[in-house]
Chains A and B, each alone.
Chain A
């Protein structure tokens, strides 16, 4: 078969546009593919279709208003993004928050991580072709949304963190409902494994596809599950702990193969680890105040500040250069998706278009996070 194809047939490369409106690109991302038959020769991402100039807006906003804008960047880990800006402000002002605030922030951050991985799993199944996973994942995600709605007031863009603590205290039902959710979800992940992980079609579409080595992962600045699946232990919760992560025990989910199936299993393992962190903390929430008083107008002293947190996608960083006024002079968000998308061209050349869809699903980008 190969001899017949390669001998007299003249083939040409051509350009195909996977345009901004596409069901498999997880948002408005445009990919310009150069393909030869079905083999991909080059991928160039074209960004900017949701560029809302958040960094320019932050140069005129007060610090409490900046917290509201970080929600809308990576909306699937909204709570963790808010926590990053709150930690920068608290460290710069040398403000001590109570233990109760730290523990509650950690519990809600882990619930957000489970919710984001749940949605990732549902949409990944849909991209590969299994439509049932979408409905199962959203059913479980609704339970987390109910917990958040009772305590924080909103389902998606929560704004529960503020510099100095939390906006309100937790609802009396919070502990009971979280325990019920954990007990329910522990029976669901084995069901998801039976449905998708052991399926032979799924395994053939993801094993050996899109391999990323450890040196390339470090050089391209990858972080999050993408880097951990290649053997690079990049978890910010272990390297530079913050909030209540230094008093819980958990393992980093690591793998050495670096292909799509490894990235998939790392995320499933992370859901188990998140549930174990919540179980260690949920019964011993310390008493105390839920808010430390700050001034109404917050002014950071002159200097540069940097804080990093671990969102569901990777390492999110906030860099602030302040000259002592009520808005920062320059604010920069280091987003995990921006570094992760730059390695797409490296790992997919030589594969087919179906492999591209599976790889994009496992890199798990959220496009407003890239474009800010």
Chain B
């Protein structure tokens, strides 16, 4: 019912779409469904079902998007319907970090340290225009990092300024779909080879 959206690359590739990445792209693109061109065993299906239905997010909101994240956790749009029941304040007990807000030069090392303290497997959602690419603070500032993916690898991008709670829930459900297609043995760790470099 409604609009039939094609979300996955495999659905589009059946129609003959070929994804191209430009030559000067500085990062690495890992296709969604990590290792999913290998057949998923039924043990993996059960483990992935368990993992995706109980992700615990970390409290990390820097600016205005944090208020919309709090609204998503409140009573009208409730994220604990989908399993994100307890938001943990400590990174060692969380599996998901939702970057809600702008990241500045002084906060970059702190974000990297929080990500390193989380235990594997861990996922990242970039919420709002500021975390995707610097947002309204792109031009003429000397202290904003133009995108959180200069610091940590990001799985899901949710656009908006700020995104509605329904948009954030859509992003979280897409992350659950992505986790259900992972294969434990063939999985690529996104942090390999991603060293600190310069913060710009």
Contact = CB atoms under 8 A, between A and B. Distances in A.
Contact present between A and B (CB < 8 A): yes
Interface of A: 19-23, 27-28, 48-53, 56-57, 60-61, 68-69, 72, 75-76, 119, 134-135, 138-139, 141-142, 145, 155-157, 367-368
B143 A23 contact: no
B118 interface: no
Interface residues of B, number: 34
A316 B144 CA distance: 24
21 contacts: A19-B110, A21-B59, A27-B61, A27-B63, A48-B106, A50-B63, A51-B106, A53-B142, A53-B144, A60-B140, A61-B140, A72-B64, A75-B63, A76-B67, A135-B74, A138-B75, A142-B74, A142-B76, A155-B68, A155-B162, A157-B161
B161 A52 contact: no
Nearest to B134: A52
A50 B107 contact: yes
A50 B74 contact: no
A299 to B, nearest CB: 20
B139 interface: yes
B175 interface: no
A48 B141 CA distance: 14
A69 B137 CA distance: 9
B83 interface: no
B56 to A, nearest CB: 14
Given A69-B136, A119-B67, 18 more contacts: A21-B91, A21-B110, A21-B114, A27-B62, A28-B62, A49-B106, A52-B141, A52-B143, A53-B137, A56-B140, A61-B140, A68-B136, A75-B63, A75-B67, A76-B67, A139-B76, A156-B68, A157-B161
Contacts of A134: 74
A49 B63 contact: no
Contacts of B63: 27, 50, 72, 75, 367-368
Contacts of A119: 67
B185 to A, nearest CB: 34
Interface string B66-104: 111011001110000000000001010000000001101
A328 B136 CA distance: 19
B45 interface: no
Interface in B132-188: 136-137, 139-144, 161-162, 164
B123 interface: no
Nearest to A368: B63
Chain B facing A: main interface SS: loop
Contacts of A48: 104, 106
A50 B91 CA distance: 20
A166 B164 CA distance: 23
B104 to A, nearest CB: 6
Given A51-B143, A368-B64, A28 B107 contact: yes
Contacts, number: 94
B141 A139 contact: no
Given A155-B68, A368-B63, A52 B137 contact: yes
B136 A72 contact: yes
A70 to B, nearest CB: 12
Contacts of B101: 50
B164 A155 contact: yes
Contacts of A52: 102, 104, 137, 141, 143-144
B139 A156 contact: no
B115 to A, nearest CB: 11
Nearest to A57: B140
Interface string B102-120: 1010110010001000000
A72 B137 CA distance: 11
A157 B101 CA distance: 13
B74 A138 contact: yes
Contacts of A20: 107, 110
A210 to B, nearest CB: 24
B13 to A, nearest CB: 37
A156 B164 CA distance: 10
A119 to B, nearest CB: 8
Contact of A56 (B60, B68, B91, B141): B141
Nearest to A22: B89
A274 to B, nearest CB: 20
Given A22-B89, A52-B137, A53-B142, A156 B59 contact: no
A53 B143 contact: yes
B200 to A, nearest CB: 15
Given A50-B104, A156-B162, A57 B75 contact: no
A157 B137 contact: no
Contacts of A139: 74-76
Given A68-B136, A138-B70, A138-B75, A53 B110 contact: no
B104 A138 contact: no
8 closest cross-chain pairs (CB), A and B: A138-B74, A75-B64, A23-B89, A53-B141, A57-B140, A49-B107, A368-B63, A135-B75
